């Protein structure tokens, strides 16, 4: 099944959190489950905070990427377009809020669930929960915006060239 | 010079963001600079968001660890105690807010600066900025709380044992 992140064009698929072309990244993959989006992620043993618990930065990172992926998928849906149809949607984060409601144990698979709160023009707001078994440990809210032209890699220039860098 | 994170006891020094004992982590190190705290961090080439820019999850992670380190240092200061004196202070994150004000270019060293907003009982609030040269790209606010007993590793039991895991 095609994940939201699988539809990112190659030049936009290097994200450390979810890029399929990043050799060192988390490779988060998100899917629709009816009206909500889901992703499953099993942290590495070194994704530690205090021993036994998942690092807050890693949790923030997967919340972030699940939200921006869901934002892109929601934008396709709002336009009645198929995921991956052209032109591509790709969102980046304007702001991220993460509440660590209880410690997240390190070991078991985590379930991320996203809810689309609003789709208005170039801005999409997503709420995300992270749970272990039946228990929600983290809640996040992410304000996502469509990738600005100034951040878009040139695909007609030399490989890897980025304007304004 | 001793970083805030250098005073964490060995059993609390495995954090992916700032633990000196995490072989795969970011190893963030924070210091006082007068009334503010500073840390310097050069992202790896694979800490990408869109090519040319730093990943938002990595930025959230270093903001988080700079804040919890600053919270510990602020707690020692509030008690008139030397950094690393016993009993140790170690803070974890209750909530994290990160505003990505502009894209952060990937390549140059980042400067993190922390401001202590409040120290009240077991709770410390820290504001953090991330800048590249003269330009602030990210602002964060982190609510830090002293490590609860339920998360504290047992140091008298078998190596690595964690209650409640």
Whether the predicted pLDDT of A108 surpasses 90: yes
Phi, psi of B6 (to 5 degrees): -70, -20
The answer to which of A22-31, B34-43, B140-149, B150-159 has the lowest mean pLDDT is B150-159
From A30's Cα to the closest Cα of chain B, the distance in A is 16
CB-closest option in B51, B55, B105 to A11: B51
A22-32 pLDDT, tens per residue?
999 999 999 99
Average pLDDT of the segment spanning B139-159 = 83
A69-102 pLDDT, tens per residue?
999 999 999 999 999 899 999 999 999 999 999 9
List, in sequence order, every residue forming a beta bridge with B127; answer none if it has no partner: B115, B141
At A153 the pLDDT is 86
Closest by CA position to A128, among listed A55, A78, A66: A66
Closest by CA position to B50, among listed A120, A19, A70: A19
Whether the predicted pLDDT of A165 surpasses 80: no
More confident residue, A156 or A47: A47
Rg (CA), chain A: 16
Is residue B157 less than 8 Å (CB to CB) from chain A? Answer: no
Is residue A1 less than 8 Å (CB to CB) from chain B? Answer: no
B50-89 pLDDT, tens per residue?
999 999 999 999 999 999 999 999 999 999 999 989 999 9
**Which residues from chain A sit within 8 angstroms of residue B55, using beta carbons?**
15-17, 61
Phi, psi of B31 (to 5 degrees): -140, 155
B98-110 pLDDT, tens per residue?
999 999 999 999 9
Number of helices followed by number of strands (H, E) in chain B = 1, 6
Sheet holding A135-146, edge to edge: A30-33, A36-41, A110-120, A123-132, A135-146, A91-100, B91-100, B135-146, B123-132, B110-120, B36-41, B30-33
B29 with B3: CB under 8 angstroms?
yes
Interface of A with B in 72-131 (CB under 8 A): 90, 92-100, 103, 105, 107
| Stated pTM of the model | 0.93
A60 with A132: CB under 8 angstroms?
no
Q: Tokens for B76?
A: 């020692």
């Amino acid at each position: 099944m095609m994940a939201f992140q699988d539809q990112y064009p190659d030049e936009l698929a290097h994200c450390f959190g979810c890029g399929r072309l990043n050799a060192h990244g988390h490779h988060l993959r998100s899917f629709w489950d009816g009206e909500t989006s889901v992703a499953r992620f099993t942290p590495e043993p070194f994704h530690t905070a205090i021993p036994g618990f998942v690092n807050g930065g890693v949790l923030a990172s997967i919340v972030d990427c699940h939200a921006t992926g869901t934002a892109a998928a929601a934008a396709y849906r709002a336009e009645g377009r198929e995921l991956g149809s052209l032109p591509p949607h790709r969102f980046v984060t304007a702001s991220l809020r993460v509440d660590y409601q209880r410690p997240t144990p390190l070991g078991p698979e985590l379930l991320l669930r996203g809810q689309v709160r609003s789709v208005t023009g170039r801005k999409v707001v997503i709420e995300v929960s992270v749970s272990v078994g039946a228990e929600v440990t983290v809640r996040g809210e992410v304000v996502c915006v469509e990738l600005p032209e100034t951040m878009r890699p040139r695909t007609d220039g030399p490989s890897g060239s980025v304007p304004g860098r």
